[in-house]
Amino acid sequence: MILTVTLNAALDITYRLPRLRPHGTNRVTEVSERPGGKGLNVARVLASLGHRTVATGFAGGGTGEALRALLADTGVTDALVPVGGASRRTVAVVDEAGGDTTQLNEPGPTVSPAEWDAFLGTYRELLDGARAVALCGSLPPGVPVDVYARLTRAARTAGVPVLLDTSGEPLRRGLAARPDVAKPNADELAALTGSTEPLRAARDARRRGAHAVAASLGPDGMLAVTADGVWQAAPPQRIAGNPTGAGDSAVAGLLSGLVEDLPWPERLSRAVALSAATVRAPAAGEFDVATYEELLTRVVVTDHPSAA
Residues serving a catalytic function are 248
**CA dihedral over 275, 280, 282, 287, signed as positive or negative:** negative
Q: Which residues neighbour 305 within 8 Å (Cβ) at sequence distance 6 or greater? A: none
The 3-state secondary structure of 153-209, one letter per residue: HHHHHCCCCEEEECCHHHHHHHHHCCCCEECCEHHHHHHHHCCCCHHHHHHHHHHCC
Q: How far apart are CA 5 and CA 238, in angstroms?
A: 31
Sequence-distant contacts of 18-21: CB under 8 A, at least 24 apart:
18/96, 18/97, 19/95, 19/96, 19/97, 19/98, 20/93, 20/95, 20/98, 20/100, 20/102
How many other CB atoms sit within 10 Å of the CB of residue 133? 29
